[in-house]
Structure 1
């Protein structure tokens, strides 16, 4: 198949280039741009020299269906809202890695993203691409809204408890940490080396745009969910997310029962790994891979369950999950092109 990427010069686009290069069903990758027509991809990423030599093409929706079978939009917010619908109407399947199509309520989007929402019809056509919990809808979709990185780690960590209504949903607290690549490639004061090196920062307190995305999916699983407490932090590393999640159990639960619940929930999932009792994952242990590793425990003294969920934010939190969705949409084995052993150390 032939695959197009809009936004190949960002970190998500660069990771798509790395992963698609080893995908056995992808014979050609065409690079498009909404702003950098004529730039050679090697100017932005010399590490892909001799692998990808294309110049970035402008988007032409009248010809794109003759050039590619599907398109990834690895773009900032706003671009997908403009292009996804047109590309889908032209006959290509679309996977959007931005947040433009994740929130079903345009008013909520505009409140949190501070910009105009995509057309409601386009939002309703987009399927939320969390494969472990939305697989059948993904298989039939024309447009996929790829989940955010923090929501991926958080929702995979919470799903078995929320769907089985085992916790007091008002007690959910997510304390999340991310590497700086999650802020994108454009330089800013918050990610400047002198500001971030040997430093640890809290940011966007009570304002992060992934909050409504997490709440929206949790509400689909349990209508009693209203709001959550979610707070992200930046740590001085490039890749990785650790979401440490706390919730009050409705009834006492043993460690054995808790672990059995998670192992049963994810027993057929190729990219979710549950740690044994007393073991908790670290971000380095999923580095460069599409895995989500989960450790969990129950504190009898406080009645709280603690879940530790780690992913590589650029892979399972973005481009790897997007390729997982590509595989489902086209009937390929779900792990095709993604069977990567994490890089360590």
Structure 2
């Protein structure tokens, strides 16, 4: 088969860089177009010097019709609100889209507009767009015109929680999620809170009780398991480039951590990337990969679940490549090992 032609909209950020990096090693895909409002006329390697000698695609101003003619699929790496408008325009020109924003992840328009404080530019598609987690939605992803790429924190919580909730192994109304992320999760634009002197040798909680990934976790765990859940989610910023470690506290009733591990082994037996492990996962164990490591431990009447992912890989760009592979009938691991 001919190579999949890929475009990136919003090419300046870390997720766009990670997509480009992964595509340089993908045997069946080729990056052919990239757009940025501020960098028209430059090359992708000028914006991301680590791509020098590997990816010299010129940057252009977005014209949905023009990029659709060049591409089989477009990775849309724009902020919420702006992304939905662009995705809508691209789909009108018959190109498939993987959207990195939160614009199509949630089931409810009201929940989206409450948490993101914007009017949705394409409200008809909210709740009707497949969530890009092939571990649960591969069949729908295969034929989708738009795929909502998952959030990074939600990935590290949904994968361990959904099977356990579905199997009835944990309480659904007492779930505490403590997540720690590398600084790349905050994006590439300059912010005081992510300056070196602010983050080095420090760890801090943020958006306590108000982080937008909380509703996404509740929505998707409920959607997958068929049972409503309530979680208490707190994110933390840690002084590392990349990675997420989520430590999740659940009430286990009469069920043991060994039962939870077996539930995961059964659920993910055919998964290319999700690995229940006996050791305690660390971010370095999965850095730069699309792999997920998770384990469970008994602790009194609770169980402690620990999950590690790379926020730029399985938490963003690696997941997008995995979704692209499913959309075009390739093995999920293509270009990701």
Same fold (TM over 0.5): yes
Picking from 100, 103, 106, the partner of 2:103 is: 100
State the partner residue of 2:93: 90
Structure 1 segments (4+ residues) deviating >6 Å: none
Q: For the residues of structure 1 that align with 2:153 and 2:325, how far apart are their CA atoms?
A: 22
State the partner residue of 1:307: 305
- For residues 269 and 226 of structure 1, do their structure 2 counterparts lie closer, same or farther at Cα, with a shift above 3 Å needed? closer
Picking from 253, 256, 259, the partner of 2:255 is: 253
- For residues 325 and 166 of structure 1, do their structure 2 counterparts lie closer, same or farther at Cα, with a shift above 3 Å needed? same
Cα contact 1:202–1:234 (8 A) shared by 2: yes
State the partner residue of 1:328: 326
Q: For the residues of structure 2 that align with 1:28 and 1:237, how far apart are their CA atoms?
A: 29
- Deviating more after overlay: 141-150 vs 74-83: 74-83
1:122 aligns with 2:120: no
State the partner residue of 2:286: 286
Q: What's the secondary structure of 2:172's corresponding residue? A: strand
Displacement after TM superposition at 1:89 (Å): 2.0
Picking from 152, 155, 159, the partner of 2:158 is: 155
Displacement after TM superposition at 1:187 (Å): 1.4
State the partner residue of 2:296: 296
Q: What's the secondary structure of 1:331's corresponding residue? A: coil
State the partner residue of 1:203: 206
Cα contact 1:253–1:298 (8 A) shared by 2: no
- Deviating more after overlay: 35-44 vs 89-98: 35-44
State the partner residue of 1:11: 14
1:134-159 CA-to-partner distances (Å, cap 9, x unmatched) read 11111121100000000001001112
Cα RMSD (Å): 1.5
Q: What's the secondary structure of 2:171's corresponding residue? A: strand
Displacement after TM superposition at 1:222 (Å): 4.4
Aligned residue pairs total 334
Cα contact 2:257–2:303 (8 A) shared by 1: no
1:232 aligns with 2:235: yes
1:72 aligns with 2:75: yes
State the partner residue of 1:342: none
Displacement after TM superposition at 1:35 (Å): 4.3
Alignment of 1:18-57 (within 5 A): 18-57=21-60
1:171-228 CA-to-partner distances (Å, cap 9, x unmatched) read 1000000000000001112111111110010000101010111111122234542431
Cα contact 1:125–1:143 (8 A) shared by 2: no
- For residues 84 and 132 of structure 1, do their structure 2 counterparts lie closer, same or farther at Cα, with a shift above 3 Å needed? same
Cα contact 1:298–1:305 (8 A) shared by 2: yes
Q: For the residues of structure 2 that align with 1:311 and 1:2, how far apart are their CA atoms?
A: 28
1:18-69 CA-to-partner distances (Å, cap 9, x unmatched) read 0011111113431122443223223311121122223211222233332111
Q: For the residues of structure 2 that align with 1:314 and 1:134, how far apart are their CA atoms?
A: 21
In structure 1, stretches of 5+ residues that fail to align are 340-345
In structure 2, stretches of 5+ residues that fail to align are none
State the partner residue of 2:267: 265
- For residues 271 and 222 of structure 1, do their structure 2 counterparts lie closer, same or farther at Cα, with a shift above 3 Å needed? closer
Q: What's the secondary structure of 1:168's corresponding residue? A: coil
